[in-house]
Amino acid sequence: MNAIAVRDLRKSYGDYEALRGISFEIAEGEVFGLLGPNGAGKTTTVEILEGYRRRDAGTVDVLGFDPERSPRAFREQIGVVLQSSELWSTLTVRETHQLFAGYYERPRDVDEVVALVGLEEKRDARVKTLSGGQKRRLDLGVALVGDPTLVFLDEPTTGFDPAARRTAWEMIRSLRALGKTVLLTTHYLDEAQQLADRVAVLREGRIVSIGTPTELTGGSLETEIRYRRDGEVVVLRTAEPTKLLHELTAEAVAEGRELEGLEVRRPTLEEVYLSLVQEEHEEAPA
């Protein structure tokens, strides 16, 4: 059963084509990552699925609804964390959760949600006294208080320090444990790699690659072999690493030489991603 099904989705702002026909499906309970540089169309996609924007063409099904109509039953079932938003600075963490809980027919227990996002100690603190990371957790708590089946996270860790990102990642993983479907946008590759079951890479309004993080790093690029010879770094790329490595080591053993600093590595998602999003620029005439 799919939580989200998108077919040939298109959207333009004036002459600018933000989305040029994208299609993907997200299964129930899946954590799906939309990855891409700024301006690739991530936020446009998410905002169409959330019901904020109208599409120009294509079909969109989110939990059996057309988000463009955004009926109340649809909004009962989604939780949204926007890229940037503030909440009332003078209310406490608990009051903020209560305020939003009141909008839903079957909200979760407020204290439970506060605990889930790790803000028990700040329960009665005013929002203005929270750190940036804590405010982001409040955002997530508010998105979860209605007990949604589908959660949208638009760049949930942008601007976080490494420790805060780890904490946020733990929380997003706990969403999976709760059985939520999650659509996450990010321009951090390690984030997609860490959290997403599947990733779609967007570039200039098109999906250039889609699959599990392993699939993305698996097929497309060659394995890299590095070593030093007479102090110089030698880098070889090959689609047949076993054969090449065998030849290299056989040669070195025969000559009684050590392959200094030998490294064999698969490309990281980052390298795949960069090769995907840069292709166009390299092809384009300067």
Partner 1 sequence: MRLFLHQLRCEQLIFWRSREAAFFIFGFPLLLFVLLGSVYSGRIDGYKASSVLLVGMIGYGAANTGFAGTAISLVNRREYGILKRIRSTPLPAGVYLGCVVVSSLVVFVLEAVAIVAVGRIFFGAQVPTHIPSLVLAVLLGTTVFASIGLAAAAMIRSAEGSSAVVNFILLPMAFLSGSFGPTRKYPHVLRAIGDVLPLKYFIEVVKAVYLGGHEVWAKPGALGILAVWTAIGFAVAGARFGWEPRER
3-class SS at 107?
coil
Which position among 15, 69, 105, 179 is part of the footprint of partner 1 (CB under 8 A)? 105
Q: Which two tokens stand for residue 158?
A: 């942008």
Which position among 11, 42, 55, 75 is part of the footprint of partner 1 (CB under 8 A)? 75
Residues with Cβ within 8 Å of 162's Cβ and at least 6 positions away in sequence, in order, are none
Indicate the residue among 73 and 253 with the shorter CB distance to partner 1: 73
Indicate the residue among 182 and 189 with the shorter CB distance to partner 1: 182
156 binds partner 1 (CB under 8 A): no
3-class SS at 210?
strand
CB of 80 vs partner 1, minimal distance in Å? 4
Q: Applying CB under 8 A, what is the total number of residues that bind partner 1?
A: 25
Instruction: Find tokens 């936020």 and name the residue.
Output: 43
The single-letter DSSP state of residue 196 is -
Which position among 1, 15, 90, 163 is part of the footprint of partner 1 (CB under 8 A)? 90
72 binds partner 1 (CB under 8 A): yes
> Residue 68's closest CA among 106, 11, 26, 153?
11
125 binds partner 1 (CB under 8 A): no
Percentages (nearest 5) of helix, strand, coil residues in the chain: 40, 30, 30
100 binds partner 1 (CB under 8 A): yes
Indicate the residue among 125 and 245 with the shorter CB distance to partner 1: 125
Gap between the Cα atoms of 141 and 219, Å rounded: 38
Residue 113, amino acid: V
Q: Which two tokens stand for residue 279?
A: 């292709």
Which position among 8, 28, 95, 222 is part of the footprint of partner 1 (CB under 8 A)? 95
38 binds partner 1 (CB under 8 A): no
User: Please, are residues 144 and 116 in contact by the beta-carbon 8 Å criterion?
Assistant: yes
Contact positions vs partner 1 (CB under 8 A): 50-52, 72, 75-76, 78, 80, 82, 84-88, 90-91, 95, 99-100, 102-105, 142, 146
